[in-house]
Structure 1
Amino acid sequence: MARRDRGLLLTQHHRIAQARIGARTAARVLSLWRRRVRPLAPAASADPWLAASLSVVREHRAESERLGAAYLRYYRALETGSTLPAFEPGPITRTVTLGDLREEYAEVADDILPPAPDDADEADVEEAYVWPELDEDAMDDAARTSLWVTGPVHAEKRLADAEALQQSGRLDDAGFLAELDDLMRDSGVTASGAADREALRGGRTMVSTASRADRRVLGWARVTDENPCAFCAMLASRGIVYRTRDAAILKGFADSGRRSSDVLDPEVELEKYHDMCHCTPMAVYSTSAELPDSSQEMARLWRSSTRGYSGKTARAAFERALRAQRRADRS
C-alpha cells in the first residue's frame, strides 16, 4: 500500500479512535447525571454533577490532544518524509523511524497498526517547530457553558413545561412522573452529547492549531464517517480549504463546482462541530492530495445537485439530493 493511501487509512483510524474517546466521555457524564441530579431540582442540584463532569471532560480532552499530536507526527511523516518533534518532553532527536512513529501512535490510540515494510525508513525532525500551547482555560469555559445549557437549563425548561401541564389539568400524577423520567433522560443525553464534543475539542484544536503553525501545511479538509449528517456532508463536500486563494487557484478550485470567492478561512470553514459529531480535520501537504472516498462522493453529489444554485438554495438542493441518495441506498 502506498504511503499516501496509508495516510488516508491512518486518518480514518484517528477519527475512529477520537470517537471512542468521545463515547467514553459521554458515558461517564451520563452516569454522573443519573446519580447526582435530582429530577425536581435539576439546576439547584447540578453543581456537584457539573464539577465532576468538567473533570471527566478535562481528562479525556487531554487524551484527545495527545492522540491528535501522535497522529500528526506519523501522518506528516507518511505525507512528506519529515515530521514534528516529540510532543512529550524528552531527548531531542534529528530523525525518527516510521516504525517508531507508528508504534507511538498505536500506543496513544490503544489501536493495532501492523508493521509496515518501510518501518526502518527515517523521517527528519523539524527541530525549529514548537508545539502550540492550547488555551485550556478557554476550553474549560466553553465546556462549562455547554454542559450547563444542555443539561440543567434544558431540564429546567422541560420541568417548567411539565408543571404547567399538570396545573392546567392536562397531566395527572402518573403522567407527570412519566414526563419527569423523559426530561431527565433527554437532558442527560443532550448533556453527554455536549461532553463528547467538548472532550474532542482537544484533539481537533490540536490538529488545526498545530498544523496551522506548520509551514508545510497548505490547507485542511473535513473527514467524516460513511454516513454523515447533512451539515457535515456539506462541509466535507467542500474538499480542501487552502490557506490562501493563490493555493486554491493552483489546485484548480473551480473544478470543485465553486467560485474562487467561495474560499473561506479554515477557522470558519472547518471548526464547526455539533454535539456527538465525530468528524475530524485533516491537514493537507500537497496540491495533489487525495481525499477519503466519502469526501470525494460528497463533492460529486454537491456538483451534480447544486448547478445553477447558490447560498441557502444550494444547501437545500444538496440536502434533498443526499436524502434521495440514502433512500436509494436503503432500498
Structure 2
Amino acid sequence: MAVYQLAQEALAGEFAARWAEALAAVEAREVAGSLSELEAAYAAAVRESAAASYALSVAFYRLVRALETGRVIGGPGYRPGASLGSLWSDFNTLTGTRTGSGPRTPLPVDVRNPFPAADLEREAKRAAEAFRHQVGDRVERHERERAGRGSSALDDAELIAWEKEFLESLKTGGSGAGGMLVQDAGRDAIHSALQDDPGAIGYYRKTDASPCYFCALMAGRGAIYKSKRTAAFGAHPYCHCQAVPIFSRRYQLPAANDRFSRMWRDFGGGSLADWRTYYSKTTKT
C-alpha cells in the first residue's frame, strides 16, 4: 500500500523538520557549547517519531493480515471485537487518509502477540551513536579547523559560507541517520513479527519511486521467506523502502520488483560496484 509507505516517509520528514528547527536556534559558533541540548532534542525527536512509526506498522501489519487471512492478531493496539472496519479506521487515523473501509463484523482472533516490545534502551543507544557520528564528530572537526583559521571578521564572506556549509552538514547528516532510525522502528516491528506469527509466510521489499542501486537489488530478490531468518532488511539513511508482510502463497509482487529482478538477470553477475554502474546506466536510458 503506497499510502503506508508515504506515511512512514512523512514521519521521517517530521523528525527532520524538528531537527532542522533545533539547529536553526543555534549559531554556528555556539554549536560546540550546545551539544548537550542538541543531543537531547535529537533523541526526543527520534523517540517520538519512532513510536509513531512502530504504531503505524503494527496497524498496517494487522490490517494486511486480516485482509489476507480473515483473522485478526493480538498485541499492542488490539481491541476486543476488532473488525475489518475498525482495522481500516485505525490505519486511516494513523496515516491521516481515508484509504479503505470494511464491515463491522468481529473477526476471529489469534491471541498471540508477535510484536516485539519497544527496546527503549537500544533505541536510545542507537540515537546516541547516530548523534555522535553525524553531529558530535563533525563539530569536533569543525572546531579544530576553526582554531587553525585564526581570527576572522564576523562578516568575512568566506567564513560565513564555511559556517553555513557546516550547519548544513549537521542538518543533512543528522536527518539521514535519524530518519533511518525512525523508520527502522516500524520496519523492525514487521520483520520481527513475521518470525513469531504462525500465519505469516514472509515479506517483500517495496521501494519508493526512485530507489538506489542497493534497494533495487534487494527488491529484486522477491519474497523473503521465514526460513531465511538471517535475511536482514538492510535499510540505510534516506531509505524509504518498507517490508510488506505476506500471508498467502497467492501474493503478487509490485511491478517494480519484477523489473529489478529482470535487470539483475540481464546484468549477468559481478561485483556490487559493477551492479551500481549497470543500474545507473540502465535507469537513465
What is the TM-score normalised by the length of structure 1?
0.78
> Given that residues 75 and 112 in structure 2 are in contact (C-alpha distance below 8 angstroms), is that contact kept between their aligned partners in structure 1?
no
Name the structure 2 match of 1:284. 246
Alpha-carbon distance change, 325 to 223 in structure 1, aligned in 2, over 3 angstroms: same
Of the three residues 241, 250, 254, the one matched with 2:224 is: 241
> Given that residues 75 and 115 in structure 2 are in contact (C-alpha distance below 8 angstroms), is that contact kept between their aligned partners in structure 1?
no
Name the structure 1 match of 2:84. 98
Name the structure 2 match of 1:151. 135
* Distance in 1 between residues matched to 2:197 and 2:25, nearest whole Å: 45
* Distance in 2 between residues matched to 1:107 and 1:264, nearest whole Å: 32
Of the three residues 14, 19, 30, the one matched with 1:24 is: 14
Aligned pairs for 1:193-212 (under 5 A) are 193-212=176-195
* Distance in 1 between residues matched to 2:114 and 2:200, nearest whole Å: 15
* Distance in 2 between residues matched to 1:97 and 1:276, nearest whole Å: 35
One-letter amino acid of the counterpart of residue 154, structure 1: R
Partner deviation per Cα, 1:275-308 (whole Å, 9 max, x = no partner): 1211111222233422122222111111111x2x
Of the three residues 36, 39, 62, the one matched with 1:50 is: 39
Shift of 1:148: 2.4
One-letter amino acid of the counterpart of residue 125, structure 1: V
Shift of 1:16: 0.9
Give the 4+ runs in structure 1 shifted more than 6 A.
none
Q: Does 2:282 align with 1:325? A: yes
* Distance in 1 between residues matched to 2:142 and 2:47, nearest whole Å: 28
Partner deviation per Cα, 1:10-67 (whole Å, 9 max, x = no partner): 3x2211111001100111011101213x423533321101112211211111111110
Q: Which runs of 5+ in 1 are unaligned?
A: 1-9, 245-262
One-letter amino acid of the counterpart of residue 124, structure 2: D
Aligned pairs for 1:111-150 (under 5 A) are 111-115=97-101, 119-120=103-104, 123-129=107-113, 131-150=115-134
* Distance in 2 between residues matched to 1:124 and 1:296, nearest whole Å: 34
Instruction: Describe the SS at the equivalent of 1:215.
Output: coil
- How many residues end up aligned between the 2 structures? 282
One-letter amino acid of the counterpart of residue 105, structure 1: F
Name the structure 2 match of 1:294. 256
* Distance in 2 between residues matched to 1:129 and 1:19, nearest whole Å: 26
Name the structure 1 match of 2:166. 183
Shift of 1:84: 0.9
Shift of 1:102: 0.9
Shift of 1:88: 2.6
Q: Does 2:201 align with 1:218? A: yes
Name the structure 2 match of 1:315. 272
* Distance in 2 between residues matched to 1:297 and 1:156, nearest whole Å: 45
One-letter amino acid of the counterpart of residue 128, structure 1: R
Name the structure 2 match of 1:265. 230
Alpha-carbon distance change, 203 to 76 in structure 1, aligned in 2, over 3 angstroms: same
Alpha-carbon distance change, 316 to 47 in structure 1, aligned in 2, over 3 angstroms: same
Question: How large is the Cα RMSD of the aligned pairs?
Answer: 2.3
* Distance in 1 between residues matched to 2:114 and 2:195, nearest whole Å: 12
* Distance in 2 between residues matched to 1:129 and 1:108, nearest whole Å: 20
Q: Does 2:70 align with 1:81? A: yes
Shift of 1:121: 6.0
What is the TM-score normalised by the length of structure 2?
0.89
Instruction: Describe the SS at the equivalent of 2:188.
Output: helix
One-letter amino acid of the counterpart of residue 253, structure 2: L
Between the two proteins, what is the percent identity of the paired residues? Answer: 23
Name the structure 2 match of 1:251. none
One-letter amino acid of the counterpart of residue 276, structure 1: Y
